[in-house]
Amino acid sequence: MNIIVNLSIYLALILSIYAFVAFVLGIRKQDQRLIDSARGATLSIFILASISTLLLFYLLGTSQFQFQYVYQYTSSDLPLLYKLAAFWAGNAGSLLLWTFFLTMYAVMVAYSRKMRRNPMTPYIVAIMTLNMIFFYLILAFVTKPFILLDGVPVEGRGLNPMLQDPGMILHPVTIYLGYVGLAVPFAFAIASLILKSMDSFWVKMTRRWTILAWLFLTLGNVIGGYWAYTELGWGGYWAWDPVENASFMPWLTVTAYLHSVMIQERKNMLKVWNLSLIILSYALTLFGTFLVRSGVLTSVHAFSESNLGAYFLIFMAFMVIFSMYILMSRYHLLKKDTGQFESFLSKESSFLINNLILLGATFAVFWGTVFPLVSEAVRGTKVTVGIPFFNTVMSPILLALLFLMAVCPLIAWQRSTVKNLRDNFLIPAIISLVVAGLLVVMGVQGAYPIIGWTIVTFMILTHIVEFVRGTAARRKVTKESVPVALYNLMIRGRRRYGGYIVHIGIALMAFGIIGANFDEEKLLTMRVGESMEIGDYTITYEGLAQRSEGVNDIVFANMKIEKNGRNLGYMQPERMFYLNWEEPSTNVAVRSTLSEDLYIVLSAWEQDQRATFKFKVNPLVKWIWIGTWVVTIGAIFAIWNGRYGNIVPRYAGPRRKVY
């Protein structure tokens, strides 16, 4: 077994190097046999990566403790699901998962029906195999997933209790699918530059790849937030932690790219800008991996300190320098035959401003994240940048972004007149101002919440107007019923209306996030039978109890909940004690409604059953999770290949021999 698993790593490394060299030589010599051989090697690498992945799953699931990785992250009493999820609990396993996804994406591109005989394909897959070489070098010589111990331990160390959560099954996988997915448009972009192909073919061919990577990043971030909300017990879902920021930054830049690329497709503009955005997004995925694995910043989400960070920093620097060199060498070609902005009051101008805001947000998050390193290097003292800094800086930036998202759908391409703006925005603006007035009358405190909810209202209304206008225009021509006209309108404009659904989902998420301004929190030590009040709730502590779950013991509190005199039943916050782990974990009790969450954490207790609790009332949190579902539906709708899907023109390629 040991020979097989290690051979799969080393053989994949050799084949990765061969595939890259064969692609390069095949391109230089215009030798189709070498190209086909390299493509076959790519498929072989994927098969070997699959073997390595399946074997590690098998070793983890069957508790083969003679392997160091299995011993470090599992134990025999661990449920099978978490044994398998331990695959990505450590550096070696998570990098093997990353490599598997990378080989999977490469094979999907290499054997795509649309790309099989395209002259760009050898360049694209060669760039992806260059990434494979790096990751297999790491797996083969730096952090090995299949190291044998000298003996066979009777028992493993077990999995960190914080990782024994359903979030552990989904969060890392979705984040990696997003990270690795960005390697595809990056490879297309660099291949286009190398070939001096200055049209928008690579943009059109990577549209779905990019949206898919963006969707996985979105899901990864939100699932991570939900995991933190229910597992860590601090009462929130986003703390601007360095590792959270690491996955948020590429999300911001990819969001900017997805908007600005529409200008390139329609107006043949912003070519350099879009290439720079996709290079930056790819680089930020490597930078995020560097942060997680280097130990240079303290984070509850980071892996233990290792020397992996240096390797990722070097590889990131190499890829960025290489990419920028190729981009600058083609700059004179990219600037030819480009369109120009005709009016400030136009959709393309709003997209550009949207990009500038998103890049401003990226820089703010980046600076807040790395400032502790800068301060330590300059002053010798690591200064921590906390939540107040990020909230203060990011709140106006994100409000401006929401406003632009509200305005964009109803602004025309090329030029909008004052009359158009008045006709399009008058009714949504009046209703939104009425909402703002009602918020003031209701006693809502704070400028940001009032402005934020007003903009969210405006944003949802402008998108509804766009659906209504489109449906009405179609009915006028086709005489269809309203449901049929709306359905046909949407399926014939999947990208456009899928994007609008995504915007509505973002608005719902923003609605919930703004509610955090009105949370209430209390930390109390209570005796049995004692009651407390928070918000509209009366909570009575009725004592502690204990139960077993497998080999683990759970201590929980019985809390009777009443709201405005109405009995709502019981909530049971818990602390779980593990046989193979010193520190217990927290299981938060949450009662969630559309208006608010009641959140209770059991922190500590005494012999006489006095117990200390954290109580929180978090308004509107559920709308964040609802908004995420809407975003997911919109993104899938936008990329789904229906009968009326987006038609991509055939690409003849540059004037050279087709391989």
For residue range 160-213, list pLDDT tens digits in order. 888 888 889 999 999 999 999 999 999 999 999 999 887 888 888 899 999 999
- Mean pLDDT over 237-266 rounds to 91
Helix boundaries (H) for 30-90: 32-61, 68-73, 80-85
| Degrees, nearest 5: CA angle 467-470-474 | 135
What tokens were used for 453?
A: 């909810």
Q: Are 390 and 365 in contact (CB under 8 A)?
A: yes
Residues 451-470 have a mean pLDDT of 94
Give the model confidence (pLDDT) of 303-323 as tens digits.
555 678 889 999 999 999 999
Quick: pLDDT tens for 562-616.
999 899 999 999 999 987 788 888 899 999 999 999 999 999 999 899 999 999 9
User: Using CA atoms, how far apart are residues 135 and 95, in angstroms rounded to an integer?
Assistant: 7
pLDDT of residue 376: 78
Residue 374 has pLDDT above 90, yes or no: no
What is the chain's mean pLDDT, rounded?
Answer: 89
pTM score of the predicted model: 0.92
Q: Where are the domains of the chain?
A: 1-159, 390-517+635-639, 520-619
Say what the pLDDT of residue 253 is. Answer: 96
List pLDDT tens digits, range 25-67.
999 999 999 999 999 999 999 999 999 999 999 999 999 999 9
Return the closest-CA partner of residue 577 out of 586, 569, 566, 590.
586
Residue 127 main-chain phi, psi, to 5 deg:
-65, -40
Contacts of 328 (CB under 8 A, 6+ apart): none
Q: What is the pLDDT of residues 105-151, one digit of tens each?
A: 999 999 988 877 788 999 999 999 999 999 999 999 999 999 999 88
* H or E element in which residue 586 lies: strand 581-587
256-270 average pLDDT score: 87
Residues 239 and 388: their CA atoms lie apart, in Å, by 10
Is residue 380 over pLDDT 90?
Answer: no
CA dist list (Å): 214 to 27, 257, 281, 578? 31, 10, 11, 37
pLDDT digits (tens, 9 = 90+) for 473-532: 999 898 899 999 999 999 998 989 999 999 999 999 999 999 999 999 999 999 999 999
Q: Which two structure tokens, joined as six digits, stand for 147?
A: 């190291």
